[in-house]
Amino acid sequence: MPDPKKNLSIFSFKKNQLRFLLLCCVFFIPVIMAYGIIEIAVTKVPNNFSIIKDYMDDESFNIETVVFGSSQIQSGVNPVFLDKPAINLSSRGQHHNIDFTLLKGMIDRFPNLKTVVFEASYGHFELLHRSRYFWKNSLFLKYYHVNTFGRSVTPIDSLLFKSHPGLFSEKLITYYLRDTLPDVYNKYGFDLNHYEGKFRKLNYDSTAIIKKPVKIYKREDHKTFSYNSNYFYKMIEYCLKTNLKVVVLSPPTFPNYNELRNPNVLRRRDSILDYVDTTYENVYFLNTEKDSDFKVEDFRNENHLNPDGAEKLTKKLNSFLKEIDK
């Protein structure tokens, strides 16, 4: 005969479990719902990644040039001024390992791709590659459907707010609550309103500008340089094996920035370009770092162009692309 005390104990245990589950539901369901609302609100804020995705969905079969790089290239190349269909996949903080992963993950979407543009700005080869914890990995996954995490991913990895709560909280406040000048993107995801910066605040006064401190990378890192240079060669070899031309672009920098560059870092960067030039065919260089056509009014700060400067640089790139196609 069953023991009534034992049955009562089991019933009491199950009842306590059920009560605990109900309490969890009461607590977590509102939290999940609140997070869902925040995530939806974040996705409604205009951003260049979503616009680039839409453009890519419409034009991927026609694209002939893909541009990769950091914020210097993102703010410096406006595809509207390129004659052939192109897309700029650069973004702030992006490095060669992200560029290469994106290229390999997206190349099948561009059946007419002919040219790839990579960045080789000063100091680029002595900066560490982005890690698997880079917050933008979630954006690449959500909008480009490319896994840059370096591991298997889950649907949670494509959530935006959790990738950078501070940044997206600020974006939510700015977009929904503050009366600020909005970002204005063209169909390529290029920000047409991106003029704010040190130079504008100083009214493009060169005398005042050269008196201000300059943020510039000077630290030498031989180990990182060695790794990054070999990685860069692999990127180039991959492109050449897939019958792609490679353009290596060094964007304009303001004279006071150029004067402060570490000559050893610069020399090692140039040694990579020399090696590439003598080793590979169909690799071309466009170095505009000291191009005198770029005036103070073309810059946001010492190493970033504004939309006017981007028009100049992109037109130079366009002429360069036409020249190497002859």
Q: How far apart are CA 272 and CA 236, in angstroms?
A: 12
* Residue range 285-299, pLDDT digits in tens: 999 999 999 999 999
pLDDT of residue 63 exceeding 60: yes
Q: How far apart are CA 281 and CA 260, in angstroms?
A: 33
Mean pLDDT taken over the chain: 91
Predicted local distance difference test score (pLDDT) of residue 11: 44
CB 95 within 8 A of CB 130: yes
* Residue range 136-178, pLDDT digits in tens: 999 999 999 999 999 999 999 999 999 999 998 888 888 888 7
Per the structure block, which two tokens stand in for 268?
Answer: 């090692």
Whole-number Cα distances in Å, 88 to 69, 72, 192: 9, 12, 14
Whole-number Cα distances in Å, 65 to 54, 196, 218, 245: 17, 28, 32, 9
Q: How far apart are CA 315 and CA 79, in angstroms?
A: 9
DSSP sequence for 158-187: G-SGGG-HHHHHHHHHHHHT---PPP-B-T
Per the structure block, which two tokens stand in for 223?
Answer: 């180990």
Per the structure block, which two tokens stand in for 21?
Answer: 């589950």
> Which domains, from first to last, does the chain contain?
47-150+182-324 (3.40.50.1110)
* Residue range 219-240, pLDDT digits in tens: 999 999 999 999 999 999 999 9
